[in-house]
Amino acid sequence: MDFGPWLARQLKQSHMSQAELAQRVGLTRAAVSAWITGRATPREETIAKIAEALDTDLGTIHTRTADTLAGLPVSWSHRPGYADGGRDFGNAAAFAFEADVEVLAREATQNSLDERLDLNQPVRVRYTLHELTGEALARFRDEIRWDDLLPHYEAAAAQDQKVGRVIAAGLRDMYERDRLVLLRVDDYNASGLTGDDYETGRFAAVVRRQLDSHKSASGAGGSYGLGKATLWATSRLGLVLMNSTLSEPHEGRTERRLIGRLDLPWREVDGQPWAGPAWFGRPDPDAKDADVTRSWWADEESVERLHLTRESAEPGTSFLVVGAHDVASLVEGTERNDDVEDDDSVHRMHHRLLEALGRNFWAAMTGGGTQRPLLEASVRTLRNGAEIFPETRVDPRVTQPSRTRALQAFLDGTTVERLTESGQVAMAAVPLVVPGRTGHGSGGEHQAVLLVTEADDRDDGKPNRVTTMRGNRMTVKAGWVPGLPVGTNPFQAVLLAGNAAGDDAPFADEAEAFLRASEPPEHDKWGQTEELRMLYSPSAYRRIAALTNQTNKAVRDLVALPKKKRNGGSERLRKSLSVGGRKAARPTTAAGPPTLEELDARIDGEGAWCVTAEVRISAGGDSWRPAPVAKLDVRSGPRPVLAWSELVAVHNCEVVDGAIHFAPGARSATFRGTTDVSTHPVRAAYSGLVVELRTDKGGQA
């Protein structure tokens, strides 16, 4: 930064006028004005006087890469209550996720993968659980200005709202047990929180904004900007501190850029309403509102006291979740910790983090051929600075041996066409017809890669599954393969689609973008989404169903047992013989229930779901009387049932008392239904829809 603008900034931050500086250095105000406008520069002896007046050193003035007030105390600034009386009782984005360290590991690690800087090197992610007690806890609270925060916490905890109850439990636990759990997520070889404090960039997307992913690459894992909310959802105190080393300079510096963000519900403190979030940083002299804080460049001692010290100057970010807890672990339970009933047991969280990283990112941690792994991940646990569990690096060969063997064979180029020996990996191509984006021309046929290998005893106990993924190699979903013949040897299969299928795969970029648009915020399946409907045709999701069917068929072909060849002479002899007496009749099997084959859905002008469904009927199954049931697709808890305002037959059926009666001999039928808006607990635009067939064969002849 040039000397003039830099000096003007320092005077503004110091609340010092040009005349006051002129008086302190023994010159006129006109001389100071000339320096600021660039019409003149001070002499060396005058620069020494300026440094003394600004209470800084000569090096700071000569380099001008930092402000002279960088060492001043930081403080909290809270967003004032809305002038219109509006009240937010929590961050809605955080409600999309549970307080679950497995979800945190999935979302945070995915974000680090998306921000990988040097594509020839893996991004390194380390999770550190740190339990503070006694004096260590007291020192940390002093460093984050706890006494300034406490009135806001007490006001929030007094409210009978979800966030208020969580905060109250966190405060009670910390004071009664004199204990606080910190969970730090460090990444290296990542971009860091670059950009201005307020303008569009990585920093503002994470610290200032909601639902801003700031990701444009088609291979990025996230696309909704929700993932970062898991950091705050995992904190019972709604508090996350950040220390970032930038990949590109901001204000002439790259190391130790710090900021904190607190997410609380609306509250009233000493008669003053506060809207929700607060930020921990330096007061911004350039802001119109004096209560606005911005990031600051911290010294090493301050970073250490905040438990945010990074191991090197390699770019990346450290996120410190204050008051971490893991409610989901109480439901799941572990044999190792059955006697532990609290949701912030560092022992349980340590093991769950290791399991989550191994289950979701084994493929990203696998290398082969000329390709290095995309990711290295590890977990460690401390108590007051002393190790409880040393740093453990996640090894995909241990956590997912069969799947890792399959992917490594693909990367090494050692796959085979058929499985004939133990340890082999068979490969087949699976077509995905990628539709063209609306108004952007046609698509093309992508060739996804299917890998199949025998299951290992060390797998997770769930063989005969297909694990799907795209370019970032995070597991999207693992599903059973239906229709396997009896006696099939246990196997594991992996489907690599989009950019994961390799550089030579046709239409890989188009497939990557298509599949990314088909993922919900949790990125745990491929199917119909609002994003997919907007970017492609309303029926584009059918291509994903076709991909699933083709994949399952290819798996069945690869794992099928070879048929035994019969001797030709014996076969001719067998045909010429017959058994005396009456032939025994072949036992008949009951026809299976009908199944939904296709489902088209849209939201009409009244806000109702309008669906058209095609039903597949097995041979002899026309006597089933299924009743269509509409439910909202929710992420947790039971699915709310919606009533039908209209249910009509379209083809090969009729509707009688809410049940579908099929025409005799029909093998398919179509019906149409519209939901009753008065039974919707939320607007249709904010939810998904599931249609089920409840079957009752009581009326069958």
Helix (H, G, I), strand (E, B) or coil at 635: coil
**Beta strands 267-269 and 386-393, pairing class:** unpaired
Rounded to the nearest 5°, which phi and psi values hold at 255?
A: -100, 145
Please say whether the dihedral angle defined by the alpha carbons of residues 81, 86, 87 and 90, taken in this order, is positive or negative: negative
250 DSSP 8-state letter: B
Instruction: Say what the pLDDT of residue 171 is.
Output: 95
Helix (H, G, I), strand (E, B) or coil at 234: coil
Lowest-confidence pick of 103-117, 502-516, 590-604: 590-604
Model confidence over 548-560: pLDDT tens digits?
999 999 999 999 8
**Which two three-digit tokens encode residue 282?**
């330096």
Instruction: Say what the pLDDT of residue 614 is.
Output: 86
Bridge partners (DSSP) of residue 462 are none
Q: Taking 90 as the threshold, does the pLDDT of residue 350 lie above it? A: yes
In Å, what is the CA distance from 23 to each residue of 49, 53, 402, 446, 496? 11, 10, 77, 74, 71
Please report the DSSP string for 461-512 in residue order: S--SEEEEE-TT----EEEEPPSPPTTPPPEEEEEE-GGGG-TTSTTHHHHH
Lowest-confidence pick of 261-265, 328-332, 572-576, 672-676: 572-576
Average pLDDT on 159-171 reads 89
Confidence of residue 221 (pLDDT cuts 50, 70, 90): very low
Instruction: Say what the pLDDT of residue 452 is.
Output: 97
Helix (H, G, I), strand (E, B) or coil at 12: helix
Confidence of residue 563 (pLDDT cuts 50, 70, 90): low
Average pLDDT on 215-238 reads 67
Q: Which of 183, 226, 477, 153 is nearest to 326 (CA)?
A: 183
Q: Taking 80 as the threshold, does the pLDDT of residue 570 lie above it? A: no
Question: Rounded to whole angstroms, how far apart are CA atoms 126 and 379?
Answer: 6
Residue 698 C-alpha from the chain's centroid: 46
Average pLDDT, the chain: 85
Confidence of residue 91 (pLDDT cuts 50, 70, 90): low
Instruction: Say what the pLDDT of residue 609 is.
Output: 87
Average pLDDT on 322-329 reads 83
The reply to whether the predicted model has a pTM over 0.85 is no
Instruction: Say what the pLDDT of residue 98 is.
Output: 62
Instruction: Say what the pLDDT of residue 65 is.
Output: 65
**Where is pLDDT greater, at 301 or 700?**
301
Q: Taking 70 as the threshold, does the pLDDT of residue 259 lie above it? A: yes
Instruction: Say what the pLDDT of residue 5 is.
Output: 86
Question: Rounded to whole angstroms, how far apart are CA atoms 672 and 599?
Answer: 10
Please report the DSSP string for 163-229 in residue order: HHHHHHHHHHHHHHHTEEEEEEEEEESB--S-S-SSSSSHHHHHHT-SS------TT-S--SS-TTH
Confidence of residue 338 (pLDDT cuts 50, 70, 90): very low
Confidence of residue 403 (pLDDT cuts 50, 70, 90): very high
Instruction: Say what the pLDDT of residue 620 is.
Output: 84
Of all residues in the chain, the percent with pLDDT exceeding 90 is 52
Q: Taking 60 as the threshold, does the pLDDT of residue 105 lie above it? A: yes
Instruction: Say what the pLDDT of residue 557 is.
Output: 93
At position 11, the amino acid (one-letter code) is L
Average pLDDT on 86-95 reads 67
Q: Which of 82, 141, 92, 76 is nearest to 267 (CA)?
A: 82
Confidence of residue 568 (pLDDT cuts 50, 70, 90): very low
* Backbone conformation region of residue 289, classed left if phi is above 0, alpha if psi is from -120 to 50, else beta: beta
Average pLDDT on 543-551 reads 94
Confidence of residue 218 (pLDDT cuts 50, 70, 90): very low
Instruction: Say what the pLDDT of residue 587 is.
Output: 44
**Where is pLDDT greater, at 262 or 638?**
262
Instruction: Say what the pLDDT of residue 155 is.
Output: 94
Please report the DSSP string for 349-386 in residue order: HHHHHHHHHHHHHTTTT--BTTBPPSEEEEEEEEETTE
**Where is pLDDT greater, at 70 or 701?**
70
Helix (H, G, I), strand (E, B) or coil at 65: coil
Instruction: Say what the pLDDT of residue 572 is.
Output: 41
**Which two three-digit tokens encode residue 491?**
């196997």
Model confidence over 583-633: pLDDT tens digits?
444 444 557 788 887 777 788 878 888 888 888 888 888 889 999 999 887
Confidence of residue 208 (pLDDT cuts 50, 70, 90): confident
Confidence of residue 513 (pLDDT cuts 50, 70, 90): very high
Model confidence over 51-77: pLDDT tens digits?
888 888 787 788 776 666 655 678 999
At position 460, the amino acid (one-letter code) is D
643 DSSP 8-state letter: -
Instruction: Say what the pLDDT of residue 92 is.
Output: 59
Rounded to the nearest 5°, which phi and psi values hold at 401?
A: -65, -45
Q: Do 663 and 669 touch, CB atoms closer than 8 A?
A: yes
Instruction: Say what the pLDDT of residue 214 is.
Output: 53
Residues 6+ apart with CB under 8 A from 480: 464, 465
Instruction: Say what the pLDDT of residue 585 is.
Output: 45
Q: Do 156 and 267 touch, CB atoms closer than 8 A?
A: yes
Confidence of residue 330 (pLDDT cuts 50, 70, 90): low
Give the containing element (helix H, strand E) for 407: helix 401-412
Please report the DSSP string for 555-617 in residue order: HHHHHPPPPPPPPHHHHHHHHH---SSPPPPPPPPPPPPPEEEEEEEEE-TTS-EEEEEEEE-
Confidence of residue 483 (pLDDT cuts 50, 70, 90): confident
**Beta strands 668-675 and 609-616, pairing class:** antiparallel
Q: Do 303 and 261 touch, CB atoms closer than 8 A?
A: no
**Where is pLDDT greater, at 9 or 216?**
9
How crowded is residue 324: how many other Cβ atoms within 10 Å of its Cβ? 27
Confidence of residue 698 (pLDDT cuts 50, 70, 90): very low
